[in-house]
């Protein structure tokens, strides 16, 4: 059976020693009284909830799955899931970073992000039920009418109701311009929504008495394509003016998807037959509100893979220290045993350190991104808010794609450490692998994320946002450029930072001649950008570790940080050279292949 220990020390290291978040929070009115002790206390309790309440339900929830009653369209979640959610609500966890005007606790988003990393390590399928509500909450908070906010946000904040994102249809996934769901205006200002949605995570369940569906649909006179999409709030039960529940709305779960992983989450096919809905935002501008949900979801999906990377690594490490197999190539290490533990073997260490580096790099990136969101929404300086927003936009596709690609690699490697036992269900490792696979697919496949990064976030503004991140690297290089102890961390990112300018310009120029060149290079490009970002954070973590060691600290945590950073730069970061070469190879070997693909 697997185990899980919340990585509180690493979270605190990033928040308080690397990013020093409370220094900035003192300048932000909503967080002026939030100190390190408060954050640490919340994280400690969050870790206890994840480890003690939801983690024990992970394997049993996967085995039991969800059951649909086709007569009533109701879904029964796995044993213990509903009771765990009640404890979640009773603990006030859904409200952690929500607006106090609607009953929220108003804590920084960084804290909420850390909570969800631990929940994802413990039980990704369970965590998706409350996790999906955050996207609905954010969209309504940004674009909802006063009435919608009054009726729905307090319930979403408390967790009494949950939310979904009803976007995908059987014939269209990412290309939402093809969707067919219709919205017919009614005399009272509401709309009757009709259509079919698929792959709706947490689309039906028994946790709460109501579910708030946010549904994309077309008005009768809507323009074709993505410019004709509107967003509607369609509750499972209609809500009266006083907030009480009215009649059942005809938005039903018609079937549950049979999936490779996340069996404990109800991935629903939703049939909508004249359900009453209200417009969110302006007509035909649903994509604006949708992207609020999508961006929140993309950061959340990256956090899912971070959680799985961490828990898979932890268990592989324990196994590698215990499992005896052969003798070390450099001589016997465990003389009192018939064989050495497999952790002595270089390739086992390669797999363990890869998973560890991907976890620590991913945690740094996601923590920093959450910190940027806090600054974007709350900092008093307009320029800081604008720069933070630009960097969030740049980093979001990297969080979603790079962290989930790495999560798939890390969980697979952690499974590999177990040898044959990793393929056996009782050890729990194969579930981490299965659950991790979806994260590369939903909320926009990783190929879509790569196009978004290169096309929309970088080339569309001639690399202006990329240069903002480059300035951060430049500042670090200027600080530590003459420090010999930092050279092994600074030199690689300084070199790649310089190369990125030429690399980006070259692809952009080729793309002007042939747009397929951008598509052919984008996935490789995103991984190069991901390593640049990870490299920057590993350099910053090494900077702090070296400083503490120089000040006399004997805490092995800091030595571990340096060793992980050295491994990352020696064994993982050099991938950028081959990636830039394959990106520069162009589109011809992909597109001039009709005979090969006949």
Q: What is the pLDDT of residue 290?
A: 82
Which SS3 state, helix, strand or coil, does residue 402 take?
Answer: helix
Give CA–CA dist 320/116, Å, rounded.
27
Whether the predicted pLDDT of 415 surpasses 90: yes
Q: Please, what is the end-to-end C-alpha distance for the chain in angstroms?
A: 48
Mean pLDDT of 239-257: 97
Whether the predicted pLDDT of 174 surpasses 90: no
Question: Which CATH superfamily hosts domain 8-143?
Answer: Acyl-CoA dehydrogenase/oxidase, N-terminal domain (1.10.540.10)
Q: What is the pLDDT of residue 256?
A: 98
Please, are residues 102 and 153 in contact by the beta-carbon 8 Å criterion? yes
Mean pLDDT of 176-181: 89
Q: What is the pLDDT of residue 230?
A: 96
Please, are residues 169 and 114 in contact by the beta-carbon 8 Å criterion? no
Whether the predicted pLDDT of 1 surpasses 90: no
Q: What is the pLDDT of residue 481?
A: 86
Q: What is the pLDDT of residue 429?
A: 98
Which of 169, 443, 480, 517 is flagged as catalytic? 443
Phi, psi of 271 (to 5 degrees): -105, 125
239: left (phi over 0), alpha (psi -120 to 50) or beta: beta
Annotation says 443 is catalytic: yes
Please, are residues 106 and 116 in contact by the beta-carbon 8 Å criterion? no
The highest-level CATH class for domain 162-283 is mainly beta
pLDDT digits (tens, 9 = 90+) for 427-475: 999 999 999 999 999 999 999 999 999 999 999 999 999 999 999 999 9
pTM (two decimals):
0.98
Average pLDDT over the chain, rounded to whole?
97
């Amino acid at each position: 059976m697997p185990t899980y220990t919340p990585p509180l020390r690493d979270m605190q290291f990033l928040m308080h020693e690397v990013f020093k978040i409370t220094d900035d929070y003192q300048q932000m009115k909503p967080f002026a009284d939030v100190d390190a002790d408060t954050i640490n206390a919340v994280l400690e309790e969050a870790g206890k909830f994840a480890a003690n309440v939801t983690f024990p339900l992970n394997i049993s929830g996967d085995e039991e799955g969800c059951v649909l009653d086709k007569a009533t369209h109701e879904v029964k979640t796995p044993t213990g899931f509903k009771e765990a959610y009640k404890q979640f609500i009773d603990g006030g966890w859904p409200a952690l970073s929500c607006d106090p005007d609607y009953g929220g606790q108003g804590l920084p988003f960084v804290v909420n992000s850390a909570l969800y990393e631990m929940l994802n390590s413990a039980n990704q399928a369970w965590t998706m039920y409350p996790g999906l509500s955050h996207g609905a909450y954010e969209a309504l908070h940004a674009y909802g009418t006063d009435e919608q906010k009054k009726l729905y946000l307090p319930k979403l904040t408390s967790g009494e109701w949950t939310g979904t994102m009803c976007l995908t249809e059987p014939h269209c996934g990412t290309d939402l311009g093809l969707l067919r769901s219709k919205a017919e205006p009614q005399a009272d200002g509401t709309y009757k929504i009709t259509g079919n949605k698929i792959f709706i995570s947490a689309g039906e369940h028994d946790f709460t008495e109501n579910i708030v569906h946010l549904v994309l649909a077309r008005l009768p006179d809507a323009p074709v394509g993505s410019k004709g999409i509107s967003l509607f709030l369609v509750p499972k039960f209609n809500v009266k003016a006083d907030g009480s529940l009215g009649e059942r709305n005809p938005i039903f779960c018609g079937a549950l998807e049979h999936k490779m992983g996340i069996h404990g989450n109800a991935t629903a096919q939703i049939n909508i037959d004249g359900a009453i809905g209200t417009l969110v935002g302006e007509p035909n501008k649903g994509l604006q509100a949708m992207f609020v949900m999508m961006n929140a979801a993309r950061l959340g999906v990256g956090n899912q893979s971070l959680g799985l990377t961490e828990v898979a690594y932890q268990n592989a490490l324990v196994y590698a220290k215990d499992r005896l197999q052969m003798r070390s190539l450099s001589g016997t290490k465990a003389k009192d045993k018939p064989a050495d533990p497999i952790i002595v073997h270089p390739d086992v260490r390669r797999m363990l350190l890869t998973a560890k580096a991907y976890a620590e790099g991913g945690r740094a990136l996601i923590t920093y991104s959450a910190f940027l969101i806090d600054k974007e929404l709350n900092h008093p300086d307009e320029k800081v808010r604008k720069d933070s927003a630009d960097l969030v936009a740049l980093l979001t596709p990297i969080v979603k794609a790079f962290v989930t690609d790495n999560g798939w690699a890390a969980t697979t490697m952690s499974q590999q450490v177990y040898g044959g036992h990793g393929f056996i269900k009782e050890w729990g490792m194969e579930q981490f692998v299965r659950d991790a696979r979806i994260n590369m697919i939903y909320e926009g496949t990783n190929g879509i994320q790569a196009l978004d990064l290169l096309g929309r976030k970088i080339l569309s503004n001639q690399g202006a946002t990329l240069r903002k991140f480059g300035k951060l690297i430049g500042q670090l290089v200027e600080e530590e450029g003459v420090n010999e102890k930092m050279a092994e961390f600074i030199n690689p990112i300084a070199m790649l930072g310089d190369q990125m300018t030429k690399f980006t310009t070259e692809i952009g120029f080729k793309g002007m001649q042939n747009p397929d060149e951008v598509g052919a290079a984008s996935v490789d490009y995103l991984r190069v950008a991901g390593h640049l970002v990870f490299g920057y954070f590993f350099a910053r973590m090494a900077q702090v570790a070296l400083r503490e060691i120089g000040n006399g600290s004997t805490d092995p945590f800091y030595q571990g940080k340096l060793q992980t950073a050295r491994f990352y730069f020696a064994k993982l970061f050099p991938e950028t050279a081959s990636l830039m070469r394959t990106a520069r190879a162009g589109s011809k070997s992909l597109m001039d292949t009709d005979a090969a693909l006949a």
